[in-house]
Amino acid sequence: MGILSWIFGFIPGILWLAYVYKKDIYEPEPIGWVALLFVLGAIIVPPTAMIEGLIARSMGIQDTCSVVNAAKVSWLIAGFIEESAKLSVVLAVVYYRKVFDEPMDGIVYASAVALGFASAENIIYMKNYGDIVILFRAPLSTLGHMLFSSIWGYAIGNARFDREHRLALIGKGFVLSAFFHGLYDFLLFTKIFAACAVYLVIATLRKMLIRMMESAQKNSPFADKEPD
């Protein structure tokens, strides 16, 4: 693959990340931490794919031609494993650090790791299916990864400041993320109303993201100060 393919593979993720980063108006995260999470998101793609392959083989899944296999791959493997991997990175690297100091931070860091993950996947898909595939992945799959993970990002952002309900909030956020991730993949695998349904899922999640960002900003402890 040429350098242009790598650029095209990563540009969508960087642009979507810039969009979310600009929404963090009260206490913007250090760009170094955001970049680190983006890079780590890309790095975890190969080991995550290996784990998914091992699980698929252990379940006897060789393809997604049947509805049952498509459902297993979509929800039990892709949705659960990939969102678990991304969530684990944020919890392990930045969640308990001082820089994580407002609810919006959960969305920012979740988006960073998810977009790094999606960008690395873009490179793999472009290598396997040609550069043209980025025209589909940029507005849908790359954005989709950010939207799926923003749900648990919003959850951990609130949970960081609500010890009493921390586990419940994180658990609910993760389940919803894995569900929508699985739903998206299932629609693509089975081609059930694929074109319209996939766009509907993305549009719905984008509206959810806007509401979550508004809520996170409203609950920021820095909301009373002038934005930077």
Tens-digit pLDDT profile for residues 171-214:
999 999 999 999 999 999 988 666 678 888 999 999 999 999 99
> Does residue 33 have a pLDDT over 90?
yes
How far apart are the C-alpha atoms of 66 and 199, rounded to whole Å? Answer: 23
pLDDT number for residue 227: 57
Is pLDDT at 59 greater than 80 in this prediction? yes
Cα distances from 177 to residues 5, 10, 30, 59, 154, in angstroms, run 29, 23, 26, 23, 11
pLDDT of 94 strictly over 60: yes
Question: What pLDDT does residue 192 have?
Answer: 67
Collapsing DSSP to helix, strand or coil, 8 comes out as helix
CA 224 to chain CA mean position, Å: 30
Whose structure tokens read 């799959």? Answer: 141
Q: Are the CB atoms for 213 and 23 separated by under 8 Å? A: yes
Q: Which two tokens stand for residue 51?
A: 């784990």
**Backbone torsions φ then ψ of 93, nearest 5 degrees:** -95, -45
Which whole number is the average pLDDT over 153-177?
A: 96
pLDDT of res. 150 = 98
Please tell me the predicted confidence (pLDDT) of residue 198: 87
User: Distance (Å, rounded) from C-alpha 82 to C-alpha 152?
Assistant: 12
Average pLDDT value over all residues in the chain: 94
